[in-house]
Amino acid sequence: MSKEDAKNNMIDVLVDLDLTDKETDFVLYYLESNNATQSYLKSYKINKKWAGIKGYQLLHKPKIESAIKKLKKIQKHALDVNPNLYVETLLKGASADIGDYIEFREEDVPILDADGSQMHDPDTGEPLYKKVNKMHLTDSAFVDTGVVTGIKQGRDGISITLVDKLKCLELLRKYFNWGEEQQTDSKDTDSIINAINGKTKDVWGDGSSEDDDLEEALKDD
């Protein structure tokens, strides 16, 4: 399927489902971000305090669920991406272990004096050494570098950054809808997710929210 065909098919889906302009925007933003809260904020310009609740509610409306499911199917065919590859990549990220990429070796290093010169045994004249553990990178031939997002050589040594494990786990949870049936309070769920990802400072607000604001936020759009 060409990109142009995919675009036309996506338009047909949105028209057939008779979505409002804001609902259409929400669906399209969600396809990009897979984040209901941010998608709702961009589409409805609502107070951020209630975007998590309203985004969750809208995401689970039948026609919205249907639109997202159909559009994702069109995208998959247009991109010719195997969903198993997506899941496999996330699983690699979720199970990434920094210990697979570094190893510690005991090495002999010279003992230096205050001037930076190597010290010697006063009796034998032999140079003095001490045992220290040093970090070394594992040979790239033996590790999966696909989960490495950055390597830096700094003054204090080598710094390795791996993909965000919690983010990978969260994307897997969303992909497989893990825990959906146990969710009794979307606000609780979104607050935990946002706290983990560091995307919001205060999901619950400062305790001074007004009843009128909550009532307005919970009204149907």
pLDDT, block means (10 residues), the chain with 221 residues: 60 77 89 86 84 90 90 72 73 83 82 90 91 76 74 74 87 78 51 50 43 50 53
Find out whether 119 and 111 touch, Cβ atoms under 8 Å.
yes
Q: Give the amino acid at 172.
A: L
Q: Which tokens belong to 55?
A: 């985004």
Q: What is d(CA 165, CA 121) in angstroms, rounded to the nearest whole number?
A: 50
* Residue with tokens 């409306």, as numbered in its chain: 61
Residue in this structure with the two tokens 């004249």, named with its chain if needed: 125
pLDDT tens-digit map of 201-212: 443 344 444 445
**Alpha carbon of residue 214 to chain centroid:** 29
pLDDT of residue 83: 66
Please tell me the distance from the alpha carbon of residue 56 to that of residue 53, in angstroms, as a whole number.
Answer: 5
Asked if 168 and 126 count as a contact pair (C-beta separation under 8 A), the reply is: no
130: amino acid identity, one letter:
K
- How far apart, in whole angstroms, are the C-alpha atoms of residue 49 and residue 141? 48
Cα 217 to chain center, whole Å? 27
The reported pLDDT for the residue numbered 200 is 38
Instruction: For the chain, give every domain's residue range.
Output: 3-81+183-217, 97-161
- What is residue 106's three-state secondary structure? strand
Q: Is 112 left (phi over 0), alpha (psi -120 to 50) or beta?
A: beta
How far is residue 11's CA from residue 7's CA, in Å, rounded to a whole number?
6
What's the whole-model pTM score? 0.39
Q: Report which of 212, 213, 187, 211 is spatially closest to residue 200, judged by C-alpha positions.
A: 187
